[in-house]
Amino acid sequence: MKKILPLTHGLRGEIEIPGDKSISHRAIILSSLSNSHVEVSNFLAAADCMSTVKCMKALGAKIRQSGEKLLITGQTLHEPENVLDADNSGTTLRLLMGLLAPQKFLTTFTGDTSLRKRPMARVIQPLTQMGASIVGRNSNKNLPITILPNKKNLRGITYQMPVASAQVKSAILLAGLFAETPTTVIEPAPSRNHTEKMLEAFGVQLEKSGNAIKIFPTNKLIAPDRIFVPCDISSAAYWIVLATVLKNSNIIIRDVGINPTRTGILDVLKNMGAKIELLNERTSGGELSADINVVPSKLRGVEIGGEIIPRLIDEIPILAVAAAFAEGTTIIRDVSELKVKESDRLAAIVDEFNKISPETFTATDDSLIIRGGRKKIFAECKTHSDHRMAMSLSIFGAAAEGVAFDNADCVKISYPNFFDAFR
């Protein structure tokens, strides 16, 4: 069991966080498709991104790693000698399904126990409409999944997404790179747009109109010499919440990506009363970043839902922790997507967070209700082998009366040195 003690003295100074996970995945994939050398710095060398590195190497890319820097030389993709193992990484699996759906060779994917439970039908459906042949294990198209050799080029489609999902959108756009005609994806609400920005940085022609993105096929990617990966706002969110609710705190987090499709957590926390200041804003490779200063503040409950949810879906567990320290009730609607993450996060939040703050958290089919300001106690909890649950429990315990939980190693998926800040 991992034990986190209360941080009674507050959180002060500079907090170092890792590179952005979403951007790291996409930098690896697109750099591997170019015919030149690309240096990727501040790469997140965590388990999920290393799954993408492993798979791209198996497909022919030449990738050399030195700490948080990668040197990638793209090659023509070829059939892997073995099954591709995405481990726990849904991003690796879904993006590579899009990339490999148009290819002339066979690919089979597998993953760990958690990933094999996650449904892939919503990715397979649009790829099949484009002409791909993909076989899954059952009606939910669970792993293992085999992509059969594509005898004809994919056809471009216009696809109206039923649910906003950056991973599904990205899979369709990557498949569209190799289609005969342009492909258009229409989202019900904007999701994170790192794929679009990275594609444009590699010279791919895109057209955007409202929530519609059209991609034009290309035979050649023009790679930048260098890509700097900003620090991950999802990782920063844990420390932003802790400094907000913990007395005597004052922190700076540098080089944090503030892409508007990812800053829902900042918007909501500010609306709750958090004192968050963005300093030294700048742009690199089309991605905005800034230094973030946070001091303690008094929070109030809010109601959110709709279009903001795709902008903070990964931060909902830590946002729920913040809401537990707020005055009044917070209602987070339209979060059924939480049920198909690394764990059923909607159920896990209710089951585990209530052990620390009893009778605070309840859920409906697609909403989370948090009644703030209630008593906090020391508790033993379960992570459900979910990295975001483990890190949120840590922050909850540090701001309250402490916590102990199992499987602390699951944080290696996205934030390998997370616990260093507690030493």
Q: What are the residue numbers of the active site? A: 314
Preceding peptide of 182 cis, ω within 30°: no
Give alpha helix (H) positions in 153-193. 166-176
**199 Cβ partners below 8 Å, 6+ apart?**
30, 173, 177, 206, 215
Beta bridge partners of 408: none
Report which of 189, 149, 140, 154 is spatially closest to residue 169, judged by C-alpha positions.
189
| Separation between Cα atoms, residue 322 and residue 317, nearest integer Å | 9
Q: How far is 381 from 339, CA to CA, in rounded Å?
A: 19
Scan for tokens 């669970």, then name that residue: 142
Candidates 333, 386, 393; CA nearest to 357 is: 393
Compute the Cα dihedral for 413, 415, 421, 423 and give only its sign.
Answer: positive
Are the C-beta atoms of 332 and 316 separated by less than 8 Å? yes
